[in-house]
Amino acid sequence: MGAVFQALPGLEVPVGAIGRSLAQMWTESAAGGRPAPEADDARATQVNFVLHLGLNSTPEDALEQFATVVRFSRRYPGRVVVLCPLHEDVPQPEIRAKIYGECFLGKSRSDKRCVEFVMLSYSRSARRHLENQVSICLSTDLPLYYWAHRFSASGRLADYRYLLSQAKRVLLDSAIAPADALAYPWPNPAATRDLVHCRLLPFRQSLGQFLAAYRREILIDGLREVTVTHGTALTAEARVALGWLEARLTDCGLRAGQTVFRHTPAAEDEPVSHLGVAMTYEESARYFRWRGDVRSGQALFEADLGAGRTTLSAGISLLSPENALSEAMFF
Phi then psi dihedrals of residue 197, to 5 deg? -60, -40
**How far is residue 171's CA from residue 322's CA, in Å, rounded to a whole number?**
13
Is 320 inside a domain boundary?
no
**45 and 150 assigned to the same domain:** yes
State which residues form the domain around 236: 201-315
pLDDT attached to residue 38: 67
**96 and 185 assigned to the same domain:** yes
More confident residue, 151 or 87: 151
pLDDT attached to residue 33: 75
More confident residue, 107 or 302: 302
Beta-bridge partners for 143: none
**205 and 164 assigned to the same domain:** no
Whether 24 has a pLDDT exceeding 50, the answer reads: yes
Average pLDDT along the chain: 93
**How far is residue 248's CA from residue 14's CA, in Å, rounded to a whole number?**
52
Is 236 inside a domain boundary?
yes
**187 and 255 assigned to the same domain:** no
pLDDT attached to residue 41: 52
pLDDT attached to residue 150: 97
pLDDT tens string 249-274: 999 999 999 999 999 999 999 999 99
Tell me what the mean pLDDT of segment 106-114 comes to.
73
**113 and 205 assigned to the same domain:** no
**177 and 219 assigned to the same domain:** no
**71 and 184 assigned to the same domain:** yes
Whether 42 has a pLDDT exceeding 50, the answer reads: no
Instruction: Give the pLDDT band of residue 183 (cuts 50, 70, 90).
Output: very high
**28 and 120 assigned to the same domain:** yes
**156 and 94 assigned to the same domain:** yes
**182 and 266 assigned to the same domain:** no
Contact, 305 vs 221, CB < 8 A? no
pLDDT attached to residue 2: 87
The total number of structural domains in the chain stands at 2
Per DSSP, the residues of 275-288 read: EEEEEEESSTT-EE
pLDDT attached to residue 111: 72
